[in-house]
Amino acid sequence: MIEYEQDTIADAFTLNTGFRNNPYNYYTVALKQIRALRECSLFRCKLFPVPEPMPINGGGVETFQTVAAYSTARYTVRLIPNSYVWGLAYVEMQTNFTQTLGRSATIQITDACTGLDFFDDFLIASAFEFFRTTGSSYPPNPFPSILIQPKLIQDPGLLNVQVSNRVSGPLLCQLVLFVAEPAIREGMVK
Amino acid sequence: MKPLDPVLAQGYRNAPNAADKILFNEIELYSTIKDIGGIHKVCCPNLRRDQPWLNMPGDAKRFQWIGQIQVSQITAANTDTIVLQRQVDYGYDGSIASIVCRCFDPAFIDGSGMLQWRLQVNTYWVPDCGQIITSLGSLSTPFEVGFVRVQSGQLVTFYVNATASALGILSPTSYIQCALIGWEYAR
Out of A3, A36, A122, closest to residue B23 by CB: A36
The closest alpha carbon to A154, from A85, A97, A55, A74, belongs to A85
pLDDT for A65 equals 75
Mutate: best of B12, B14, B33, partner A, most A CBs <10 A:
B12
pLDDT for B178 equals 96
Mean pLDDT of the region B17-28: 87
Q: Comparing A33-47, B16-30, B86-100, which segment has the lowest mean pLDDT? A: A33-47
Q: Tell me the three state secondary structure of residue B72.
A: helix
**Across the interface, do B12 and A12 touch by the CB < 8 Å criterion?**
yes
pLDDT for B127 equals 87
The ipTM estimated for the assembled molecules is 0.74
Residue B13 pLDDT > 80, yes or no? no
pLDDT for B115 equals 95
**Residue A167 touches chain B, beta carbons under 8 Å:** no
pLDDT for A13 equals 58
CA A95 to chain centre: 22
What is the spatial distance between Cα A173 and Cα A99, in angstroms, rounded to a whole number? 9
Residue B139 pLDDT > 80, yes or no? yes
Cβ–Cβ pairs < 8 A, chains A and B: 119
**Across the interface, do A39 and B19 touch by the CB < 8 Å criterion?**
yes
Mean pLDDT of the region B124-132: 90
Q: Tell me the three state secondary structure of residue B180.
A: strand
Alpha-carbon distance A38 to nearest alpha carbon in chain B (angstroms)? 8
Q: Tell me the three state secondary structure of residue B112.
A: coil
End-to-end Cα, chain A, rounded Å: 10
Amino acid A41 reads S
Q: What is the pLDDT of residues A59-77, one digit of tens each?
A: 566 666 788 888 899 999 9
φ, ψ of residue B83 to 5 degrees: the values are -100, -40
Alpha-carbon distance A124 to nearest alpha carbon in chain B (angstroms)? 9
Residue A166 pLDDT > 90, yes or no? no
**Residue A160 touches chain B, beta carbons under 8 Å:** no
Residue A1 pLDDT > 80, yes or no? no
pLDDT for A135 equals 58
Q: What is the pLDDT of residues A94-116, one digit of tens each?
A: 766 666 766 788 999 999 888 88
C-alpha distance from residue B1 to each of A5, A19, A58, B6, B10 (Å):
21, 22, 57, 15, 19
**Across the interface, do A69 and B131 touch by the CB < 8 Å criterion?**
yes
The 10 Å CB-count burial string (b at 16+, else e) for A165-174 is bbeeeebbbb
The closest alpha carbon to A83, from A133, A28, A45, A27, belongs to A45
Between B182 and B187, name the one with better pLDDT: B182
Between A11 and A111, name the one with better pLDDT: A111
Between A54 and B28, name the one with better pLDDT: B28
**Across the interface, do A106 and B131 touch by the CB < 8 Å criterion?**
no
Q: Which residues contact A38 (CB under 8 A, 6 or more apart)?
A: A9, A10, A11, A12, A13, A14, A31, B19
User: Sign of the CA dihedral A105, B130, B171, B179?
Assistant: negative
Out of B28, B34, B124, closest to residue A106 by CB: B124
Q: Which residues contact B80 (CB under 8 A, 6 or more apart)?
A: B118, B159, B160, B161
Q: Comparing A155-159, B6-10, B39-43, B171-175, which segment has the lowest mean pLDDT? A: B6-10
Residue B72 pLDDT > 50, yes or no? yes
Q: Comparing A2-11, B31-40, B62-71, B178-187, which segment has the lowest mean pLDDT? A: A2-11
Q: Is A175 exposed, middle or buried (0-12, 13-18, 19+ CB in 10 A)?
A: buried
**Residue A151 touches chain B, beta carbons under 8 Å:** no
C-alpha distance from residue A186 to each of A164, A189, B14, B18 (Å):
39, 8, 12, 20
